[in-house]
Every structure is written in C-alpha cells, then in structure tokens.
Amino acid sequence: METVLPQETHATVDRTHGLYLLQQMLLIRRFEEKSAEAYSKGKIRGFLHLYVGEEAVAVGVMQALTREEYVLSTYREHGHAIARGIDPKKIMAEMYGKQEGCSRGRGGSMHLFDVTANFFGGNAIVAGHLPLSLGMALASKKQKKGNITCCFFGEGAAAEGEFHEVMNLAALWQVPLLLVCENNLYAMGTAIRFTHSMQELERKGSAYGVESAAVNGMDVLAVEQAAHKAVEKVRTTGKPFFLVCNTYRFRAHSMFDAELYRDKSEVEQWKREDPIPRLQQLLLSEGLISGDDVSQIENKVEELVQQSVDFAEEGTWEPVDQLTKFVYSELKTK
C-alpha cells in the first residue's frame, strides 16, 4: 500500500500562542515517553496505549473548546486529558493506580476522568462512547445549556455500527455534537483499506446530512483552524459536525503489540511529518522564537513530567476496606 502523506497547510500564529502549542505537544510527548518507561519497569500495569505522533489533534481541537464543553475520548486519551488541562500529576498517579489519581486509581490508563474539566473518559470499548456523547449532547440541548459535546474516536470506531447509529440520530435530533475522528490508518493492527471501502472518511457524513471536513492532523495550526470552524458551525446551527483528522501514531497500538502489520520504513516516513518539529521549525523560521525559547520549554516540560512521576511514586494505595466504595450503594432505611 502506498503511503499517502498529508498535504501542506498554511496558517498563522503569534509568539505567545505558538509557544503554548509547542509546550503542550511536547508535554504530551515527554509524558508518554516517561509512561512507557514506567510501564517497562512494572510501575504501570494493565494496558497502555500511547499518543505519540498524534499530539497535534488533541492540542489543536482543545483550543476551540471552552471549559463548559463536554469531552469524551478513547482508551488512547492521555494526550486529550493533558490538553484539556487535567493535572499531569493526577494522570500519572492514576496510571500508577494510586488514589491521588484523577479516577482515584480505579480507572488506570484507559479510564481517565475528571468532572471538574468536563472530561468524561477514557472509554475502553471501541465506539462504546459514541452513544454516550450523543446522549450528553441531547441532554444539553433539552436543558438549553448552550454547550457542545466533543467526542474523539479512531477510524476503527467509524467502522462500527454505533458510529452510523449516532450519525443518523445526531442529524435527526439536531444535537450540538462535534465528532472528531483521529484517523491514524490502523485500527489496532488492521490497515484502513481492510476496514473501510470508502477511505475518505469525511465523505460518510453526507449520507446522513452531517456537515463534514478533513484536515491534516499532523499540523496543529491546521487542526486548530479546522476545529474553530467546526465548533462555530455547531454553535450557530445546533447541528452535529464530523471532523476527520488524518494523523499517524509512531508507536505500536499498545505496549503488548508486536507491530508486525506495517513496515518500519513507513513509520520512518511518517516521522518526517512529526507535528512537534513542524511547528518548532515554523516558529523559528518566522523569527517568533529562538533556540533559547526551545531550551526553556524543554527544561520546563522535563520538570513537569518528573514532578508527575514523583507525585505518583509518593502516592498511596486505596485501603482494602474501601474497595466496595462506589461499587455498592448503601440502602438507607427508616
């Protein structure tokens, strides 16, 4: 299969915002690398799905969302959680299984949750959270809250029945739902050509009367621009919007993945589209930042990640007598 790389896009940015975007993407990258290291040491258990390579999508889309919007994600959600503003220390503690984590250590890597950030998972079942996002958008509409529900999912989920049901009902009910597909070309270990007869995923929206668009998911500025346009459409019309971000993950599907389904040369080719150096080189070439700025960001990010690890290491395990808490409800009788 020939590798089709994303097209070049053009967008402008100022110094302050450019530095912020660069720091956010670098923080996600270094956080994920440290998570892989902790997993290899046995500090993190269970499953671990890394977001390396896809940082531009989470960071770009979050710029268009207010704190009032609802956000739902997949099991590859560390990047979304960080970009949403959840404290990295709480995220790392969660993956360590410590009760200081954002889900009290009960969710782990795949079930990050923080109601204060309106971040409702971290959902482990492929496409399982799409109906949840539809229900939340419908509830917002009925309650006249005026907020948007944003649901991130992969192209693997777009091949599931829930995707089509949600697209159909979202259009029928005209709910404020932003569906963001992170198309990284491989649903676990299956190439998109084996799962979608129509690989231009944005074309699926027209079948349901849902306005759609595709964007280069390796360019944070392009993603941000597309997300702002999509959010404005949803906000002004009250109708759903389907945004496809064509991206690529540089790491295996999970830490258990032998990654036998794609050539290393393909991965290396895509790494040339790395969103972090792409933005960094743009800012440097435009004279918006200097090498010192880059060094300062790198040092700050390294410090934040190390603080997250230290916080997780120093965290505490939930007492055994608390294990049934939140599992069984206590019946109160007179």
Tens-digit pLDDT profile for residues 108-133: 999 999 999 999 999 999 999 999 99
- Say if 83 falls within a structural domain: yes
More confident residue, 217 or 3: 217
Please count the structural domains in the chain: 1
Backbone angles phi and psi of 178, in degrees to 5? -105, 110
- 309/90 Cα distance (integer angstroms): 10
Q: Each residue of 272-305: pLDDT tens digit?
A: 999 999 999 999 999 999 999 999 999 999 999 9
- 113/108 Cα distance (integer angstroms): 10
- Say if 256 falls within a structural domain: yes
- Say if 333 falls within a structural domain: no
Assess whether pLDDT exceeds 90 at residue 334.
no
- 206/296 Cα distance (integer angstroms): 46
Domain of 286, in residue numbers = 19-322
- Say if 330 falls within a structural domain: no
Tokens of 207: 């079948």
- Say if 267 falls within a structural domain: yes
pTM equals 0.93
The CATH number covering residue 36 comes to 3.40.50.970
- Say if 253 falls within a structural domain: yes
In this prediction, residue 57 carries a pLDDT of 98
Residue 282 to residues 24, 219, 223: CA-CA distances in angstroms? 16, 11, 15
Q: Confidence band (pLDDT; 50, 70, 90) for 73?
A: very high
Strand, helix or coil at 291? helix
Q: Each residue of 232-254: pLDDT tens digit?
A: 999 999 999 999 999 999 999 99
Q: 153: closest CA among 175, 122, 112? A: 122
- Say if 223 falls within a structural domain: yes
In this prediction, residue 328 carries a pLDDT of 78
- Say if 4 falls within a structural domain: no
Backbone angles phi and psi of 73, in degrees to 5? -140, 180
In this prediction, residue 4 carries a pLDDT of 42
- Sort 275 into a burial class: Cβ within 10 Å, 0-12 / 13-18 / 19+: buried
